[in-house]
Structure 1
Amino acid sequence: MSAYLVRHQRGQRDDILIDAPDLTLTFEGDWAIFSDSQGPSLAVPAERGATIQRIDPDDTGQEQDDTTAKGPAPQE
């Protein structure tokens, strides 16, 4: 699954997390465009000063869904 975090300069209230199994990111002119099999789903203008970070669950070693974890939390 592909996931991206779009962070805006103003802070967390404007941040966006977007994910989908077939999500792609392309750049056209001054726009970052997220698309999936249904077509474009989000466009972010460069003038907003956003940074885009890819944060795929598979890359972090974390489970995609916290509800699938079984057993107690590890003790230190």
Structure 2
Amino acid sequence: MPAYLINHAKGQGEDILVEDPTLVLTFDGPWAVFTEDDGIALAVPVDQIASIQRVDELPQDQQPEE
């Protein structure tokens, strides 16, 4: 399941973990926008974000070959 950890810039709020089976991250102007099947789930101004990390495991068919 797609999951993203949003690390807020210092003093801009607490870190947030967002996850949903159909979650998609896009950037729209000054916004990081997380959408799922029902529409926008979360939108965060990019100037309040230190980093966004995808933290879920890749599906088995997308794992790197050993």
Identify the TM-score tier after normalising by the shorter chain. Answer: 0.7 to 0.9
3-state SS of the aligned residue for 1:14? coil
Residue 47 of structure 1 deviates from its aligned partner by 1.6
Runs of 4+ residues deviating >6 angstroms: none
Percent of pairs identical after alignment? 49
How much is the aligned-residue C-alpha RMSD, in angstroms?
1.6
1:34 aligns with 2:34: yes
TM-score (norm 1): 0.68
Give 5+ residue unaligned stretches, structure 1: 60-76
C-alpha deviations, 1:4-62, integer Å up to 9, x for none?
A: 00001227x61000000010000100100000001001001012133100011x24xxx
Query: Counterpart of 2:18?
Result: 18
Normalized against structure 2, the TM-score is what?
0.77
| C-alpha distance in 2 between matches for 1:35 and 1:5 | 15
State which structure, 1 or 2, has the greater radius of gyration over its C-alpha atoms. 1
Q: Tell me how many residue pairs correspond in the alignment.
A: 57
Q: Which has the higher helix share?
A: 1
Higher strand share: 2
